[in-house]
Amino acid sequence: MKKQMSSKLAIITVAVLALALIGRAQSPRPTLADASPYVTEMNGGKPVDCTATKVKINFGSGRGEGYCQAVLADLIKSWEDGDDVVKQDVLIPADKMPTAPPAAYELKGDKLGSSMAEYLQNHHDDCVSRHATAPEVHHSAWSGNTLQNAGGQHVNAFHFACQNLGRVTLATANMDWEQLEFSQQRLYLIAYYFKHDSFELIQAAFINKFGSPTSTTEIVAKNLMGAQLPRATLTWKNGVTTIELSEMSGDDLTKSQVVLVLDDVYEAVSQRHGGEVVKAVQKDM
């Protein structure tokens, strides 16, 4: 049983590593030869030939052929998904990225449309810097191979998202958490979620910074006791970016939120994710 569990964990680790290291452009369908470098790294750098009849490895408890097939499956999936991005884990310098639209909204020094490289210059130890660290295999004579930074994401992913929890403030109010989202290294979404008690303070701060909202809507919601409570949503638009400050977050009357988005990129990411949901539904019909 222990051997089986160890083998499964090792295969999962190889799969994660393969996804993290995939960075070749769209080309011919991957083969076992393409899997060899990834399994070699898991093997402490000792060369592994995945095309051999019997694959020799120095890690895990399973057969080397199984690890090669697991990596190949991930390479093929990435190839079939049309991942054309080269060097997905390489951060592009800020001066090589498109500049943020001049009119784009900015909050706490972070401007929608700016590059991840520029963002990281100002944020050295938040969720973006942690999740943008590429997974690495470390070899130890005592513990063997270990995969570090396994929770990382491709910095050039079409959808890169993370949350900052605790000690996050906005207009001096404590936030429950901050959400940040990038698409191919462009910051396109900033969101804060907070207790409703802070809504009036946040509302006043946003009106002071961005002027009167473009539009305001109001609904009447009911709490568990049946009491009717008005909840407002304020929206700012300038043609390239949008701010939506909502007095109610989802169906929770005790929470509020504010979301800032770069319109065109937000729409593209939303459409792609919506399309993926539709495909998943169709496959199950």
Which tens digit of pLDDT belongs to each residue from 43-77? 777 888 899 989 988 877 678 888 888 888 877 87
Residue 58: predicted pLDDT: 83
Q: Is the pLDDT of residue 187 over 60?
A: yes
CB atoms within 10 A of CB 92: 15
Greater confidence (216 vs 130) lies with 216
Mean pLDDT of the chain: 81
Q: Which residues pair with 245 in a beta bridge?
A: 234, 258
Cα–Cα dist 194/175, whole Å: 5
pLDDT tier at 232, thresholds 50, 70, 90: very high
| Residue spans of beta strands (DSSP E) within 27-83 | none
The residue ranges of DSSP E strands in 95-214, in sequence order, are 106-107, 110-111, 136-140, 144-148, 160-170, 173-183, 186-195
pLDDT digits (tens, 9 = 90+) for 97-154: 999 999 999 999 999 999 999 999 999 889 999 887 765 555 565 655 555 555 557 7
Could you tell me which residue, 148 or 262, shows the higher pLDDT? 262
Q: pLDDT over 90 for what percent of the chain? A: 42
Stretch 172-189: mean pLDDT: 96
- Please, what is the end-to-end C-alpha distance for the chain in angstroms? 37
pTM above 0.85, yes or no: no
Residue-level pLDDT at 132: 79
Average pLDDT over residues 160-176: 94
The pLDDT assigned to 214 comes to 98
Structure confidence by residue, pLDDT tens digits, 17-44: 544 444 334 567 888 888 888 788 777 7
pLDDT of residue 6: 46
Write down the H helix ranges in 81-221: 116-122, 127-131, 199-210
Give the sign of the dihedral formed by CA 169, CA 188, CA 106, CA 93: positive
Return the H-helix or E-strand segment holding 230.
strand 228-237
Asked whether 161 and 180 are in contact (CB, 8 A), the reply is yes
| Residue 153 CB contacts under 8 Å (≥ 6 apart), including other chains | 131, 132, 160, 161, 162
Separation between Cα atoms, residue 271 and residue 276, nearest integer Å = 9
Per cent of the chain over pLDDT 70 is 76
The predicted pLDDT at position 15 comes to 46
d(CA 256, CA 197): 9
Is residue 199 pLDDT above 70, yes or no?
Answer: yes
